[in-house]
Amino acid sequence: MPARKIIIRPVTNRKLLKMFIRYPYRLYRNDPLWAPQIRILEKLDYTRKANPVLSRSPHQLYLAETDDGRIVGRILAYADPRHNRHHGTRLGFFGAFEAEGPDAASFLYQSAEKWICRQNLDGILGPIDPVAECWGFVIEGFDHPPVFLSPHNPPQYGNWAVESGYKKARDLLVYDVDTGGDYSLPERYRKFEELLKIRRPALRVRPMSIQKLKDDARILLQLLNDSIDGNWGFTPIGDDELHSIIEKLRLIADPDAIWFVEDEGKPVGCALGFPDLNVVLRSIKGRLLPFGWIRLLRARHSIGDYRLWGLAVLPEYQGQGLDVLLYIHLYRALQPRGIRLEANYVLEDNPHIVNALEKLGMKRIKRYRVYEKSLG
């Protein structure tokens, strides 16, 4: 039988957008590790009104289909002016990539690259998905299920990117620890905490306040911007993204997993963790209606897997062990519940964080890779 011809179709109407959103549900229908997004939010997140990144970024969605109308892939191409201004670059991005074969992948990449060239940009970076908030393709650790807001893909995706001329930009590492197993906090860190209390009595560590969610969300935003700015790929989070962050925090916020360290009342560091909603989303297939939201609300307090998304300390306070202090409080809050904690998106070339996690007894379980290609 002759190979089917592949056609690339820009998404230009609601019907095609629905096909774009629904495609992964068919692609991963037999994959027990894959988790859907929250469907009602996913539909909104592909609109300019609801997604702050897409609202400021020119973008185009593409579908790949065979000549008999069967969808075999998708990709999102976009240009984030805030990122380019901040980093002094001329890059476009791709995300939301899925494909069933190397031919579909190649045609999708070509379409995204041509669109980015038309924006007068000279390079492409990805996958960085502004909807699912996923960075990179999984290239190691395929047997571990993805935690909430992290990527999942077949092993061949990285190879297809290389075959299309992409090369490694950065690797992001994943570590985990089972607080309910035989793991215990190293004794030297307990002693360090006691010494720090004596030396720095003005330091105070507190959990996030659900009653003051908006205020604490703003503090988180400011600490992340001031602490992580300068890290590869990080673009400061703007006020336009704050509402989206607050709405997501309402779903996942657990005071046991979000901590602040203050110096004489001034917030100087934070640890942001949250329950892995994918555990529930798999069982409800991403549907909150009619009764999925009830199951989600009931189950989120009994979820045994958590993600440590960020650990940030202001530059002038770095090197003083405040990141360890935050981790100690996070561990103590979660350990009685036997939580498995996964630290995600750790830059491979950040030896301070890598060494700290490994000294804390966390094990590397996964690796994501972000790719780049010059279009000049």
pLDDT digits (tens, 9 = 90+) for 94-121: 999 999 999 999 999 999 999 999 999 9
Identify whether residues 190 and 277 lie together within a single domain: yes
Q: What is the pLDDT of residue 236?
A: 85
Q: What is the pLDDT of residue 1?
A: 39
Is residue 142 assigned to a domain? yes
Q: What is the pLDDT of residue 125?
A: 98
Identify whether residues 185 and 151 lie together within a single domain: no
Identify whether residues 276 and 240 lie together within a single domain: yes
Identify whether residues 191 and 332 lie together within a single domain: yes
The 3-state DSSP class for residue 353 equals helix
Whether the pTM exceeds 0.85: the reply is yes
Domain end: 116, 144, 171, which one? 171
Percent residues over pLDDT 70 in the chain: 97
Identify whether residues 341 and 222 lie together within a single domain: yes
Tokens representing 159 are 């190879």
> How many domains is the chain built from?
2
Identify whether residues 135 and 186 lie together within a single domain: no
Cα 202 to Cα 148, 199, 208, 220, 268, distances in angstroms: 35, 9, 19, 20, 12
Is residue 375 assigned to a domain? no
The secondary structure of 49-86 as a DSSP string is TT-HHHHHS-EEEEEEEETTS-EEEEEEEE--HHHHHH
Is residue 155 assigned to a domain? yes
Structural domain span for residue 38: 6-171
Identify whether residues 349 and 200 lie together within a single domain: yes
Is residue 149 assigned to a domain? yes
pLDDT tens per residue across span 238-266: 777 767 777 777 777 888 999 999 999 99
Q: How confident is the model at residue 2 (pLDDT cuts 50, 70, 90)?
A: very low
Identify whether residues 70 and 215 lie together within a single domain: no
**Mean pLDDT in residue range 207-215:** 89
CATH of the domain at 186: 3.40.630.30
**Mean pLDDT in residue range 163-181:** 94
Cα 138 to Cα 91, 99, 135, 152, 156, distances in angstroms: 22, 15, 9, 6, 10
Is residue 311 assigned to a domain? yes
Domain end: 153, 171, 189, which one? 171
Identify whether residues 308 and 219 lie together within a single domain: yes
Domain end: 138, 154, 171, which one? 171
Q: Of the candidates 175, 90, 159, 154, which has an alpha carbon nearest to the alpha carbon of residue 125?
A: 90
Identify whether residues 59 and 152 lie together within a single domain: yes
Is residue 373 assigned to a domain? no
pLDDT tens per residue across span 49-108: 888 899 999 999 999 999 888 999 999 999 999 999 999 999 999 999 999 999 999 999
Task: Give the CA-trace dihedral at 363, 364, 366, 370, to 10 degrees.
Answer: 150
Identify whether residues 145 and 216 lie together within a single domain: no
Is residue 374 assigned to a domain? no
HEC string for 309-343: EEEEECHHHCCCCHHHHHHHHHHHHHHHHCCEEEE
Q: How confident is the model at residue 229 (pLDDT cuts 50, 70, 90)?
A: confident
Identify whether residues 18 and 70 lie together within a single domain: yes
Q: Say which residue, 48 or 300, is predicted with more confidence.
A: 48
Is residue 1 assigned to a domain? no
Q: Is the pLDDT of residue 285 over 90?
A: no
Cα 42 to Cα 22, 53, 75, 322, distances in angstroms: 10, 14, 15, 36
